[in-house]
């Protein structure tokens, strides 16, 4: 359970009866409200708090950074604004019971400052919304099989959260999504209410982040940027140009990180900030106005595979992504647009002309160059379990994978993984560049 070092106020309000929203097919609505520009540096926090006028603050920190300078700096800034902060360290489960436990100790308008990676920031969003809207947990617990939950506009356009990310790539500090655990799996909730009130980028927050996690973060931002673009064949000239530009900048940043790692040099604050900016840009939604929200097939499969195998999500994304591109390029348009993959790849090769012409082979080469660990091992039983989870949460009539059968999904997973023991599976695996590391 979370460890609370200072008690926060508790408020209760009467429940209202609201029917959970249903997921409907369609496109991302053109109405776009950009997030507030992130604060740049911890020393801006006290002034922001005074302008905000909040009188109650709870700081939710990942245990990995609870004793580091970023958290100490945040707490000091809160105190200098004349507020005594509560500190909650997430040193236990972060499921819905933990969310409810923290929400019960928050005032409805209390500001939650999340200091940590995507899991911590998502937890902070869900707890803050649960405190502000007592009905909110009903949306998270309503019986459904879909892994994708669309939240209603009635919940507002912001969560009372100031997000301080200590990892790169998730973009959760600017995004309108949150992952949460339920019934042994991970679901994805989306809605304007999940966007934090504010975000803060600080060099101290990522100064101890290992180089391999920085590389994974760049790849995650690249994956999130290009996946809707290649998954939806709709021509959107303005948005397409922004995707192509952002993806190219991310490839440049990824190779800068790779060069520094090869020389065993630290990634400087300027580059980390640039990656954070690009990652945030990939999350805020502008580049996807008009695209189908169901265009990203790989994420849905990788999410369930990572849960089944207890692996980091980017490991399974990295294993599956080139496989899906190869099948798309071979003509399986259920997975995306071959023409758009080729067009995107032409732009990316302007930043890295040494990459192969073939996009799937080039993606494998890029991951090798960035030393991304994409080895995933699974026996037939676990592949079957992952397939069942994928079809239940995302397929069999649900819009993201509604055209794929269980046999299709099982074949893709088998191709993207290696046997639990013995010889390697097909060439989709690509070269191995480093050993498995615990995340």
Amino acid 346: pLDDT: 98
3-class secondary-structure state, position 196: strand
Amino acid 186: pLDDT: 87
Task: Write down the number of H helices and E strands in the chain.
Answer: 15, 10
Name residues whose C-beta falls within 8 Å of residue 31's C-beta, 6 or more positions apart in sequence.
none
Q: Which residues of the chain have pLDDT under 70?
A: 1-32, 422-439
Structure tokens at 63: 């245990």
Amino acid 174: pLDDT: 94
Rounded-to-integer distance, Cα 15 and Cα 10, Å: 16
Strands 86-89 and 3-4, by their bridges, are antiparallel
Amino acid 36: pLDDT: 87
Buried-exposed string 190-219: b where 16+ CB fall within 10 A, e elsewhere:
bbbbbbbbbbbbbbbbbbebebbbbbbbbb
Residue 116: which of 63, 46, 195 has the closest Cα? 63
Rounded-to-integer distance, Cα 199 and Cα 202, Å: 10
Buried-exposed string 323-335: b where 16+ CB fall within 10 A, e elsewhere:
bbbbbbbeebeeb
Strand order across the beta sheet in which 57-61 lies: 3-4, 86-89, 57-61, 111-116, 159-165, 196-201, 39-40
């Amino acid at each position: 359970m979370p460890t609370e070092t200072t008690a926060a106020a508790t408020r209760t309000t009467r429940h209202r009866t609201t029917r959970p929203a249903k997921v409907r097919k369609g496109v991302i609505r053109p109405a776009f409200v950009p997030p507030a520009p992130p604060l740049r540096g911890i020393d801006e926090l006290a002034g922001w708090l005074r302008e905000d006028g909040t009188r109650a603050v709870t700081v939710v920190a990942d245990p990995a950074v609870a004793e580091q300078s970023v958290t100490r700096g945040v707490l000091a800034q809160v105190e200098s604004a004349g507020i005594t902060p509560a500190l909650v360290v997430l040193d236990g489960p972060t499921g819905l019971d933990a969310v409810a436990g923290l929400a019960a100790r928050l005032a409805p308008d209390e500001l939650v400052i999340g200091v940590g990676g995507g899991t911590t920031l998502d937890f902070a969003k869900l707890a803050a919304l649960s405190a502000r809207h007592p009905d909110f947990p009903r949306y998270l617990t309503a019986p459904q099989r879909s892994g994708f939950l669309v939240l209603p506009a009635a919940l507002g356009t912001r969560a009372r959260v100031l997000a301080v990310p200590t990892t790169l790539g998730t973009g959760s500090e600017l995004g309108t999504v949150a992952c949460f655990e339920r019934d042994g799996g991970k679901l994805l909730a989306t809605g304007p209410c999940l966007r934090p009130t504010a975000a803060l980028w600080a060099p101290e927050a990522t100064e101890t982040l290992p180089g391999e996690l920085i590389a994974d973060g760049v790849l995650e931002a690249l994956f999130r940027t290009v996946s809707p673009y290649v998954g939806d064949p709709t021509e959107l000239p303005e948005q397409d140009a922004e995707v192509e530009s952002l993806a190219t900048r991310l490839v440049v940043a990824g190779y800068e990180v790779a060069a520094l790692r090869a020389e065993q040099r630290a990634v400087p604050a300027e580059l980390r900030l640039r990656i954070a900016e690009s990652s945030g840009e990939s999350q805020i939604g502008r580049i996807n106005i008009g695209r189908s929200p169901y265009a990203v097939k790989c994420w849905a499969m990788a999410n369930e595979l990572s849960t089944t195998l207890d692996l980091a999500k980017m490991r399974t994304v990295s294993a599956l992504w080139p496989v899906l591109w190869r099948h798309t390029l071979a003509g399986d348009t259920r997975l995306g647009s071959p023409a758009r993959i080729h067009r995107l790849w032409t732009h990316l090769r302007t930043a890295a002309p040494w990459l192969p012409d073939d996009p799937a082979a080039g993606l494998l080469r890029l991951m090798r160059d960035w030393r991304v660990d994409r080895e995933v091992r699974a026996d037939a039983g676990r592949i079957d379990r992952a397939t069942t989870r994928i079809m239940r949460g995302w397929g069999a009539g649900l819009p993201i994978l509604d055209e794929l059968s269980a046999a299709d999904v099982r074949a893709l997973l088998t191709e993207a993984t290696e046997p639990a023991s013995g010889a390697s599976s097909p060439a989709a695996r690509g070269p191995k560049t480093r050993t498995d590391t615990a995340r």
